[in-house]
Amino acid sequence: NLPHVAIVGATGAVGVEMLLCLEQRNFPLGKLTLLASARSAGKRMTFRGEEIEVKELTHDSFAGIDIALFSAGGSISQEFAPSAAAAGAIVIDNSSAFRMDPDVPLVVPEINPATAKNPARGIIANPNCTTIISLMALAPLHEAFGLESIIASSYQAVSGSGAQGIIELEQQVAAIVAGEEVVSKIYPRQIAFNVIPQVDVFTENGYTKEEMKMQNEGRKILGFPELKVSCTCVRVPVYRSHSVSITAKFSRPIDADAARAAYAGKPGIQVVDDPSTKLFPVPLDTTGKDDCLVGRIRKNLVLDNALDLWVVGDQVRKGAALNAVQIAEIL
Ligand code: 2RA
């Protein structure tokens, strides 16, 4: 008997992509239930040629559900994930609500798949998109050369703020072209033709929550509490893919050729790197695609045993929806 799957937050940017991934990957499911806020209930979405009506999320929505994919924000996950688990579902939560809970596995299927088995609380957490995309490029190198530290700057798409982020960028560009007033609702400054060095709120050490996720989640996923990370997360006027510029220091000597060799055969990551032909990854290459792309691989000029690289990935897909569906495939 095939599993009954639910998507919580089905009408959001990630929820829509989860449905697409389930369909495109021909996920073996018997029934699909779509859940969202009262505001979205009643909408109809298409899955495998069949129209499905979105139902309002309640604590009683999970009877008979085997796997519940959540992507409706941290507070919805905090409130409803325990009810879903209590009803017998395994929850795969895309929010940050449970990621650092010691009883909740934090999983990137290409890196630590075994941790997804038999989750103690019936909840598995999907890591932050910037962390997933960065680790897709770093995990193969960690395995071969022993990662010690990461210094990174991210260039994050507006889709990271959900559908509203995309709308804000579009509306601002249109206003500028029309010579009209530019309105910023979800960002502290204008995002069109600008970059904003703030993603999520600032914490007491001067880093934002988003920047600390790279360290905290990276340590947990790699099972490596000593990993050192310093990160600057920047919002850029790009629709869907995040890019990350990384300086990684290793305990063993490394060079570009050795790094390229370490990627050979690794799933989910492809090397796109030939500066002589202007070949390097850009956000437009990865949008809508499964794989992350890594390029600009070169020895760092300041630190020993260090490598600089540039990795790009679709933050809605591999950064969220696809990673969650791949965890469901493990189950
Ligand atoms: C962002 N990584 O880009 C966060 C959440 N998706 O806003």
Catalytic residue from among 4, 21, 142, 242: 242
Strand pairing of 67-70 and 90-93? parallel
DSSP state, residue 254: -
**Distance from the alpha carbon of residue 2 to the mean position of ligand 1, in angstroms:** 33
**Distance from the alpha carbon of residue 128 to the mean position of ligand 1, in angstroms:** 7
Number of other CB atoms surrounding residue 305 within 10 Å = 17
Query: Which pair of tokens denotes residue 263?
Result: 């990627």
Return the axis-axis angle of helices 256-263 and 129-145, rounded to nearest 10°: 110
Number of the ligand 1 atom closest to the C-alpha atom of 199: 7
User: For the chain, how far is it from start to end, CA to CA, in angstroms?
Assistant: 14
Q: What is the reported pLDDT for 241?
A: 98
The verdict on the CB of residue 160 being under 6 Å from ligand 1 is: yes
Q: Which domains does the chain have, with CATH numbers?
A: 4-126+321-330 (3.40.50.720), 130-315 (3.30.360.10)
Reference 131, options 226, 197, 7, 229; nearest CA is: 229
Residues 272-299 as b or e (16 or more Cβ within 10 Å = b): bbeeeeeebbebebbbebbbbbbbbbee
For residues 33 and 46, give the distance between their C-alpha atoms in angstroms, rounded to a whole number. 12
Which residue type, as a one-letter code, is found at position 138?
Answer: L
Q: What is the reported pLDDT for 206?
A: 98
**Distance from the alpha carbon of residue 254 to the mean position of ligand 1, in angstroms:** 31
Name the closest-CA residue to atom 7, ligand 1: 160
The phi, psi pair for 92, rounded to 5°, reads -115, 105
Q: State which H helix or E strand residue 313 sits in.
A: strand 306-314
For residues 149 and 254, give the distance between their C-alpha atoms in angstroms, rounded to a whole number. 14
The verdict on the CB of residue 12 being under 6 Å from ligand 1 is: no
Is 243 within 8 Å of 310 (Cβ atoms)? yes
171-195: average pLDDT: 98
Residue whose token pair is 């325990």: 82
Number of the ligand 1 atom closest to the C-alpha atom of 156: 3
Which residue type, as a one-letter code, is found at position 148?
Answer: E
129 is catalytic: yes
Q: What is the mean pLDDT of the chain?
A: 97
133-156 pLDDT per residue, tens = 999 999 999 999 999 999 999 999
Q: Which of 135, 159, 199, 314 to mutate to test the pocket of ligand 1 (most atoms within 8 A of CB)?
A: 199
Local confidence band at 17 (pLDDT 50, 70, 90 cut-offs): very high
Q: What is the reported pLDDT for 307?
A: 98
Number of the ligand 1 atom closest to the C-alpha atom of 162: 6
Q: What is the reported pLDDT for 139?
A: 98
The verdict on the CB of residue 156 being under 6 Å from ligand 1 is: yes
The verdict on the CB of residue 139 being under 6 Å from ligand 1 is: no
Phi-psi region of 193 (alpha: psi -120 to 50; beta: other; left: phi over 0): left
Query: Which pair of tokens denotes residue 11?
Result: 């009408």
Query: Which pair of tokens denotes residue 72?
Result: 């409706």
- Spatial neighbors of 59 by CB under 8 A, at least 6 apart, are 80, 83
pTM more than 0.90? yes
**Distance from the alpha carbon of residue 207 to the mean position of ligand 1, in angstroms:** 15
Is 24 within 8 Å of 37 (Cβ atoms)? no
Q: What is the reported pLDDT for 160?
A: 96
Query: Which pair of tokens denotes residue 39?
Result: 């505001």
The verdict on the CB of residue 11 being under 6 Å from ligand 1 is: no
Q: What is the reported pLDDT for 284?
A: 98
Q: What is the reported pLDDT for 225?
A: 98
Q: Is the ipTM of this complex over 0.85?
A: yes
Q: What is the reported pLDDT for 96?
A: 97
Local confidence band at 322 (pLDDT 50, 70, 90 cut-offs): very high
The verdict on the CB of residue 169 being under 6 Å from ligand 1 is: no
231 is catalytic: no
The verdict on the CB of residue 128 being under 6 Å from ligand 1 is: yes
Percentage of the chain exceeding pLDDT 90: 99
Percentage of the chain exceeding pLDDT 70: 100
Tell me the chain's radius of gyration from C-alpha atoms: 20
